[in-house]
């Protein structure tokens, strides 16, 4: 431990140097690595700094892989929140929220007219006698006479047209009109000398109103419109210059500039900026530390192999000695791949989604087992 602490910048990045657990295990790691590589028989050409650097790399690799899987489990809850803080969120069990779901559903809510990120704008077109065709992009004006269309926000989309025939209900639902009684076929439920009451089912009112509306559509000039490009054609042909056609429209602006100030746009957007820092070495349990030791050994094997490959053979009296640099490089890389694969496969079974599946399966299997447990019979109660 003393050698590690007294050495200036013992590891390349110095990320874990201030961690007492890391520094106390550093010298032990040197002994472990050198003995595993045969230092008692043949000198291992690795310095303490090289082994400490490999230990730091192994810790960073372990931290990176765990953070990736933590991000798979929690990314949806961090989307939109502050980035780059590195505040230790990687070691916290965060609360789930539905921000992602509600944001994803927002466009559908906007189309249904119950929310959304973009405003709708109302405007009118001055109708002219005998003229059916008008240009929405130039003739649709707001209350101040300014064109509604903004060429920086894309095309216009019609949300609602205030151009329709009078409602059939206005001709039908009038409690003081004699026609009302005629339309209802004199269906008087009860009456007194002073007041006449009638009670009909609601569906009959709806059906009659629908009949009148359909009659108007078939037998009279229909109120409708037709859009082609930027032009809108009005039916029937306007009969005066005094009326206006009112329209509600929407323009989809830049997705980064909705109608309101949304700071979440600048927050977490993907795994690259989720506020996850490196794991704290002192909080890594024995499972993780053993993985780090094995990965440090694999890195050291590869490093030692690269060093020995530079020489190949060493001359000695009466011959030479062949070094196993190539074998160490191959074995070290294979060990690294195996350790990463093993860790990833284990973590694949521990994402939050997988844990839910496991718990669900366990509950189903337990329920099946409980079916075979005999239920105790209640005491019989004799009635005298």
Note the pLDDT tens digit of each residue in 187-246. Answer: 444 444 444 445 567 777 778 778 877 777 777 667 888 999 899 999 888 988 888 999
Residue 191, pLDDT score: 43
Structure tokens at 49: 């700094």
Alpha helices by DSSP H, listed for 196-276, are 202-219
Residue 184, pLDDT score: 53
Task: Name the more confident of 28 and 210.
Answer: 28
* CA distance linking residue 341 with residue 294, whole number of Å: 13
Average pLDDT, the chain: 83
pLDDT digits (tens, 9 = 90+) for 54-64: 999 999 999 99
Task: Name the more confident of 291 and 376.
Answer: 291
Any bridge partners for residue 135, and if so which? 231
Q: Residue 32 contacts by C-beta under 8 Å, 6 or more apart in sequence?
A: 293, 297
Q: Residue 301 contacts by C-beta under 8 Å, 6 or more apart in sequence?
A: 37, 328, 329, 331, 332, 335
Mean pLDDT of 4-23: 82
**210-214, 247-251, 272-276, 359-363: least confidently modelled range:** 210-214
Q: pLDDT grade, residue 118 (50/70/90)?
A: confident
Is 23:17 a contact under the CB 8 Å cutoff?
Answer: yes
Residue 182, pLDDT score: 54
Flag whether pLDDT at 289 surpasses 90: yes
Q: pLDDT grade, residue 382 (50/70/90)?
A: low
* CA distance linking residue 325 with residue 138, whole number of Å: 78
pLDDT digits (tens, 9 = 90+) for 346-363: 999 999 999 999 999 999
Percent of the chain with pLDDT over 90: 43
Q: pLDDT grade, residue 331 (50/70/90)?
A: very high
Q: What global pTM score does this model have?
A: 0.72
Q: Residue 220 contacts by C-beta under 8 Å, 6 or more apart in sequence?
A: 165
SS3 at position 193: coil
Task: Name the more confident of 340 and 219.
Answer: 340
Q: Is there a cis peptide before residue 254, judged by omega within 30 degrees of 0?
A: no
* CA distance linking residue 107 with residue 118, whole number of Å: 9
Q: pLDDT grade, residue 314 (50/70/90)?
A: low
Is 184:198 a contact under the CB 8 Å cutoff?
Answer: yes
Encode 138-172: b = buried (16+ Cβ within 10 Å), e = exposed. ebbbeeeeeebbeeeeeebeeeebebeeeebeebb
Flag whether pLDDT at 153 surpasses 60: yes
């Amino acid at each position: 431990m003393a050698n590690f602490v007294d050495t200036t910048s013992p590891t390349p990045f110095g990320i874990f140097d201030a961690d007492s657990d890391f520094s106390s295990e550093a010298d032990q790691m040197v002994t472990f690595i050198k003995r595993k590589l045969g230092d008692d028989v043949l000198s291992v050409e690795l310095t303490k700094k090289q082994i400490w650097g490999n230990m730091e790399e192994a810790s960073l690799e372990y931290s990176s892989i765990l953070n990736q899987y933590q991000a798979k489990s929690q990314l949806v809850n961090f989307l939109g929140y502050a980035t780059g803080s590195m505040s230790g969120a990687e070691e916290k069990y965060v609360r789930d929220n539905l921000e992602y779901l509600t944001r994803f559903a927002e466009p559908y809510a906007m189309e249904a007219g119950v929310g959304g990120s973009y405003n709708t704008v109302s405007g009118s077109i001055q109708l002219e006698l005998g003229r059916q065709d008008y240009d929405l992009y130039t003739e649709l004006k707001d209350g101040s006479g300014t064109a509604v269309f903004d060429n920086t926000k894309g095309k216009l989309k019609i949300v609602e047209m205030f151009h329709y025939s009078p409602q059939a209900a206005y001709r039908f639902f009038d409690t003081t009109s004699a026609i009302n009684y005629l339309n209802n076929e004199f269906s008087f439920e009860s009456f007194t000398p002073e007041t006449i009451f009638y009670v009909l089912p609601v569906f009959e009112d709806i059906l009659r109103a629908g009949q009148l509306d359909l009659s108007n559509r078939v037998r009279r000039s229909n109120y409708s419109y037709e859009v082609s490009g930027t032009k809108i054609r009005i039916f029937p042909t306007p009969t005066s210059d005094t009326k206006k056609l009112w329209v509600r429209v929407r323009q989809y602006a830049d997705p980064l500039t909705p109608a309101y100030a949304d700071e979440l746009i600048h927050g977490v957007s993907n795994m690259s900026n989720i506020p996850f820092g490196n794991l704290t070495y002192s909080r890594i349990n024995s499972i993780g530390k053993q993985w780090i030791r094995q990965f440090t050994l694999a890195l050291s094997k590869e490093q030692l192999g690269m060093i020995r490959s530079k020489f190949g053979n060493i001359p000695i009296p009466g011959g030479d000695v062949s070094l196993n640099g190539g074998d160490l490089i191959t074995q070290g890389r294979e060990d690294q791949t195996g350790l990463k694969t093993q860790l990833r496969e284990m973590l694949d079974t521990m994402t939050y989604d997988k844990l839910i599946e496991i718990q669900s399966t366990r509950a189903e299997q337990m329920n099946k087992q409980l079916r075979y447990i005999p239920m105790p019979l209640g005491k019989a109660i004799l009635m005298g």
